[in-house]
Amino acid sequence: MPDTTHSRTDTQKLSLGLGLAIIFGVTLWRVIMLLLNRTDLFVDEAQYWFWGQNLDFGYYSKPPMIAWVIRFFNTISGSDSTFWIRVSAPLFHLATALMLMRTTRRLIDGDAGRDIEPWVGVIFITLPAASLSAVLVSTDTIQILFVTIAIWAFLGLTKRSSVLEALILGISLGIAFLTKYSVLFLLPGVGIAMLTLRSARIAWRDVAIAAIAGAIVVAPNLWWNVTHGAATVRHTQTIAHWGTGGGNGGLLKHVLSALGFVGAQFGVVGPVVFYAMLWAGWRLIRGQSDDREKLLFWFSVPVVALITLQALFAKAYANWAVTAYVAGIILAVWLLYRLTKKGLVTSLIIGGVVAFVIPILTVFAYDIKLPNGDLVMKRYIGRSAISLEIADIATMAKTPDIVGEDRDILADLFYTLKGKPFHIYARNFGGFPKSYYEQNFSLPATVTGSVLYVSDDPFDCVGGQAELIKSWSPDLGDMKGKTLYAYRVPASCLSPKS
């Protein structure tokens, strides 16, 4: 197909002004709808908030950046409402869209760069993944911004040596690491690009400066892991099933897992964008790519390939490839703009519909149902109701000490019952802790009286000392249909088994 880089049509050319209007308009829509959002904090969001109340250089399942960001927004607002916990997400996406535009111009100059720049911004801001993560605070929204800044600095260093941009490169990668360890998936592709493309090489002095700056930034988290039994690393190993082969099920299960991960990427960034990235791979194989296209390919597609291998042999979640989509979006937009501008329009329409609908779902979380009768947002409602029910039971039983074992319940208990006269603890099962709460907020030996123990399984204690206060099934949410049990038990009944 012929290259039509400089061809333009009135219907497919997007001006910078209109692109910025779309980007800021989508962001404003998301912020306004967050004010009206009726969902509870998801278990991870509540946990991140709680981390922010206990600032540290590392946490059980993630590095510390997400907690620091939430604490910052809570501090400047004087509020820990769900709005102020989540509002950083659309603002980070806004910053990422603008930074992606500048990164595009740094790579692609002339008319082509000016034409593609606004498309990159609007395609990113309307990605399905961006629309979902803009209503639920997550590590991905922070990491992708700093990966974008790092790639911007890297591209500058390929043209000229600069101490400042080398520092920006190292610090940005360090912050991305402090947000989520998955940034490491970028490194193999970056290495291949530097080895195979002369235009992708930077001065060794700049490499050293970036490496030293990055090492300084990540050092506190690495030291925290050393002094906390490598907790975050061990948790990551557990959820990825490293060393376990991902469980049983045979070859077919592993192949389906890998295919499922790849298929999920069509949903993460939209079918058009992901197809364009795969198309870029085909062009590279056929020798049709120039150095800029090759660089973007090596900065994106290998991340997806590596995590597909992870999914084949063990386990991988769809959002683990988020670092691929900084260069991947620029690559996809550039390819689509040259070869099929209708693809860009189609992608924007699909993404725009998703960007409009998802915030509406959060506002009508108790009303919009699937054909099977389940609420679309059932994972994000009903959590605070469970916590308030437990508080009522504890008050009735005159047991202010509440002990739980389920991370979902504990996360919301700490958030919903904040400032109320209860002491919340996790049951300590012994051995390596199963959650942040068991790691740092286990029931202490100093509590010797009766406690309220909440479990999703029947419980008994030696001598029948467990008194069932109440059992109930939540009416809404992910735990609808499950039976929860609240017992008054001596604290000694919950001691770790020797």
Regarding beta strands 484-490 and 450-455, do their DSSP bridges make them parallel or antiparallel, or are they unpaired?
antiparallel
For 421, residues 6+ apart whose C-beta sits below 8 A from its C-beta are 400
Regarding beta strands 401-404 and 450-455, do their DSSP bridges make them parallel or antiparallel, or are they unpaired?
parallel
pLDDT over 80 at 6, yes or no: no
Res 101: pLDDT: 97
Asked whether the beta carbons of 116 and 106 are under 8 A apart, the reply is no
Residue type, 258: A
Cβ of 492: how many Cβ atoms within 10 Å?
Answer: 14
- Rounded to a whole number of angstroms, the distance between the first and last alpha carbons of the chain is 70
pLDDT digits (tens, 9 = 90+) for 159-191: 999 999 999 999 999 999 999 999 999 999 999
Take residue 189 and report the two structure tokens written for it: 């592709």
At 405, phi and psi to the nearest 5? -125, -20
d(CA 60, CA 433): 9
Residue 314 pLDDT class (50, 70, 90 cuts): confident
pLDDT digits (tens, 9 = 90+) for 291-302: 999 999 999 999
Cβ of 233: how many Cβ atoms within 10 Å?
Answer: 15
Res 103: pLDDT: 97
Regarding beta strands 423-426 and 450-455, do their DSSP bridges make them parallel or antiparallel, or are they unpaired?
unpaired
Q: Which residues of 328-352 are buried (b: 16+ CB within 10 A; e: fewer)?
A: bbbbbbbbbbbbbbebbbebbebbb
pLDDT digits (tens, 9 = 90+) for 366-376: 999 999 888 99
Cβ of 427: how many Cβ atoms within 10 Å?
Answer: 22
Take residue 213 and report the two structure tokens written for it: 């700056």
d(CA 234, CA 225): 9
d(CA 234, CA 249): 24
Residue type, 472: W
Mean pLDDT of 251-274: 91
Domain boundaries, the chain: 16-363, 382-494
Res 63: pLDDT: 95
Asked whether the beta carbons of 244 and 267 are under 8 A apart, the reply is no
Residue 262 pLDDT class (50, 70, 90 cuts): very high
Residue with the two structure tokens 């996406």: 93
For 94, residues 6+ apart whose C-beta sits below 8 A from its C-beta are 23, 24, 27, 125
Chain-wide mean pLDDT for the chain? Answer: 91
Asked whether the beta carbons of 191 and 295 are under 8 A apart, the reply is no
pLDDT digits (tens, 9 = 90+) for 433-464: 889 999 999 999 899 889 999 999 999 887 77
Take residue 456 and report the two structure tokens written for it: 């999703």
d(CA 160, CA 154): 10
pLDDT over 50 at 224, yes or no: yes
Residue with the two structure tokens 């260069």: 327
Res 139: pLDDT: 95
